[in-house]
Structure 1
Amino acid sequence: MKKQVTTIGFAVLIAVATVTAAWAQVSRHGRTHGYATDHFEGFDALDEDSRIPQKKKSFWYSVDAETPAAQMQIAEKKEALGRNRSARKAYEALIREWPTAPEAAQAQYALAQLLERQGKYEKAFDEYQYLITHYAGHCPYQEVLDRQFRIANYLLHNNTSMFGWTLSGSDTIRERFEQIVRNAPRGAQAPEIMLVIGSIRVSEKELPEAIAVYEGLLNRFPQTSQATDAAYLAAQCRHELAVKHSYNEPRCREAIAFIKSALVRIPNHPQKVQMTTWLNELTALLIEQNYQQAVFYDTKQRNAEAAKAAYRRFLTEFSDSHYAAQVRERLMQLEKGAAPLR
């Protein structure tokens, strides 16, 4: 079941506000071309049969002309006269009857634009996607991507009815942003859109997936300003998870290692103070985890050998902690043959 949109975080609003229509690399013909890929960290996996199938001839869409060019003129005339439903069927008929004709790409683009003008945004997005999938080399790729982004952005911020009901699940909206990135994974605005995707994940409390998106951004676009934001946001998610699951030592260690690495990588990070605060909190948590583990062996299991090993490990790693003197004293007692504590 699709989840409902709850709270879209401040980061979403910032990220969306800055995304513009600059996209993938421009060819010598002046067109923008995408570089499709299926795998992006933190994105939903694509099914093997997820490619949009080509439209087939249908009884419901019959042509009114002998050639694609003539059919295109008929469809455009109907649209000009405001006969939108009839125009849509005429465009569809052309696409299905002559799918390889140059006019088919024109008709597909016109169909998507017509749906967009009518406010049928979800359907329009899908028709633009069909255009990219089947006519990528015969359409204004950059403009189509820009239109897809505007639609996804609109759906993100206009997702409630006049009665306050949620219209679409956040999964559906997020998947549209993911599709845009897949359409142009090297696009200039892919990092910004990935920030939006990560923030939607955060708003749905899907923190591991958000971390994957942010760290994917860091790895793919390490020199961008968005990478700086992603480092902070990933650290925030990792800190929250480590504190929430305070019993999970590996998760805590991973969070500490990530924040340390991020601060080495970006020593003058704008949020360095906050990230350092998180690092100190997590270090204190790790110390507490290891101390309590040693005490558990000493007092609960009453296993002297296990307790001594745990105390030694503690002193090796946390020799300057506030527990260090207490641990040294207890270890000395155990090494002299003292019984485990009750």
Structure 2
Amino acid sequence: MQNAVALSLATITAICVGFTSCSNPNEKIQLASGQVGRANPELTAQLYSQARAYENQGNIKKAIKTYGNLAGDYPMANEAADARIREAELLYSQGELMQAFEKYQYFITQYRGTSQYDKAIVRQAEVAHAASTGQITNSFIGLKSDIPRTKVEKMFIQVRDNAPFGPTAPRAQFGLGEMWERDKNTAKAIKAYEDLYVKYPKSKYAPEALYRVGNLLLNQTEKGNRNRGNLDTANTTFTDLTLLYPNTKQAKSAKQKLKQIAQADVQRSFSIAEFYENKKQYPSAAFYYNEVIRNTKSGSQLHNQAKQRLAAISQ
């Protein structure tokens, strides 16, 4: 048994020595800790110079490939961060936005705190917003193609979560809501806007997000979905907006919407009163006519009509 163990250990040692002796010292070595060994500085400097030369010559495809190879094969090299951002920037300049998004993500993940980090964050956000509006290409052919909405959603979430305390985060969340609103996916749009003003209440996008939630709910009631809950929630949302952001243009618009909801409520009460009157259920009709009278100005048309009908059924 001891001989077998000794033989196994010897075999493992021989294999490890064999791998070490056969490896190229210029190539990266994956360590047990998961770290990547630093490459030969002369080699990486040469690769970076070659990529720059291709770029200066206008051979953008080769420049992109060489930068990518350097950053991918030698991520700990002194030139790796610059190579990765140059690769992403060239893809961006060529309109290869989906590929650029991916490369910016590599940079953001691997090179936090570097001088180009903020640029990568902003650029990646621009790509996500372009994808949501369809202004994007998928290949060097230069043809536009529709990006699946689930893919764009993941892009926005990635942008948001890469810098959750930066200005790109609330803008990405708002872009997500706008995308679903354009697609007439009301439920997802409302959820995205709600998440924005909950997570980023001090953002400049928060008042608009709150207003859009109320407006989407109100539109649903106007387009045939007479769910009373939607109308009540819209009323609460607009009220919250006037209280939380009183000096914004959205608050001013919300006050008009609240008047609209109040008028709709009065009209609804009058219609219910007429329904009960036609059914000869006069006590119920009287209750709703009184609601109309109580919630309208004296002398207004609906106020006068409700008083006349109430007098008629009370005889």
Which structure 1 residue ranges, 5 or more long, are not aligned?
Answer: 1-62, 334-342
How far, CA to CA, are the matches of 2:85 and 2:128 in structure 1?
A: 18
Which residues of 2 match residues 206-285 of structure 1 at below 5 A? 206-285=185-264
1:320 match: 295
How far, CA to CA, are the matches of 2:52 and 2:132 in structure 1?
A: 31
More helix by share: 2
Change (3 A) 1:72 1:219: same
- Please tell me the residue identity of whatever aligns with 1:228: P
State the SS of the aligned residue for 2:112: helix
2:123 match: 147
Change (3 A) 1:266 1:96: closer
After superposition, the C-alpha distances for 1:194-253 in whole angstroms (9 at most, x for unaligned) are 443333332222333333333333233333443333333333323222212352111111
- Matching residue within 76, 80, 86 for 2:48: 76
| Normalised TM-score (structure 1) | 0.60
Which structure 2 residue ranges, 5 or more long, are not aligned?
Answer: 1-23, 28-38, 138-142, 297-302
Q: Is the 8 A contact 2:70 2:80 kept in 1?
A: yes
Change (3 A) 1:246 1:147: closer
Which residues of 2 match residues 146-225 of structure 1 at below 5 A? 146-153=122-129, 155=131, 159=135, 167-169=145-147, 171=149, 172-173=151-152, 175-225=154-204
Which structure is higher in RCO with an 8 Å CA cutoff and minimum separation 6? Answer: 1
Change (3 A) 1:92 1:274: closer
How far, CA to CA, are the matches of 1:250 and 1:311 in structure 2?
A: 25
Question: Shift of the alpha carbon at 1:257?
Answer: 1.4
1:122 match: 98
- Please tell me the residue identity of whatever aligns with 1:210: A
Q: Is the 8 A contact 2:214 2:237 kept in 1?
A: yes
- Please tell me the residue identity of whatever aligns with 2:105: Q
Change (3 A) 1:206 1:135: same
Question: Shift of the alpha carbon at 1:134?
Answer: 3.9
State the SS of the aligned residue for 2:135: coil
1:31 match: none
- Matching residue within 85, 98, 112 for 1:136: 112
- Please tell me the residue identity of whatever aligns with 1:201: W
Question: Shift of the alpha carbon at 1:124?
Answer: 0.8
Structure of greater Rg: 2
Question: Shift of the alpha carbon at 1:144?
Answer: 0.9
- Please tell me the residue identity of whatever aligns with 1:320: N
How far, CA to CA, are the matches of 2:278 and 2:144 in structure 1?
A: 53
Change (3 A) 1:88 1:226: closer
- Please tell me the residue identity of whatever aligns with 2:146: S
Matched-pair identity in %: 24
- Please tell me the residue identity of whatever aligns with 2:176: I
How many residue pairs are counted as aligned between the two chains?
Answer: 264
After superposition, the C-alpha distances for 1:160-199 in whole angstroms (9 at most, x for unaligned) are 89xxx86224735565344322211211343344443333
Q: Is the 8 A contact 1:71 1:94 kept in 2?
A: no
Question: Shift of the alpha carbon at 1:295?
Answer: 6.0
The worse-fitting range, judged by mean Cα deviation, of 200-209 and 125-134 is 200-209
1:109 match: 85
State the SS of the aligned residue for 1:119: coil
Q: Is the 8 A contact 1:75 1:90 kept in 2?
A: yes
Taking only aligned residues, the RMSD between alpha carbons, in angstroms, comes to 4.0
State the SS of the aligned residue for 1:245: coil
| Normalised TM-score (structure 2) | 0.64
- Please tell me the residue identity of whatever aligns with 2:192: V
Change (3 A) 1:318 1:234: farther
Q: Is the 8 A contact 1:228 1:266 kept in 2?
A: yes
Q: Is the 8 A contact 2:275 2:285 kept in 1?
A: no
State the SS of the aligned residue for 1:198: helix
Change (3 A) 1:288 1:170: farther
Q: Is the 8 A contact 1:242 1:255 kept in 2?
A: no
Change (3 A) 1:271 1:99: closer
Question: Shift of the alpha carbon at 1:148?
Answer: 1.5
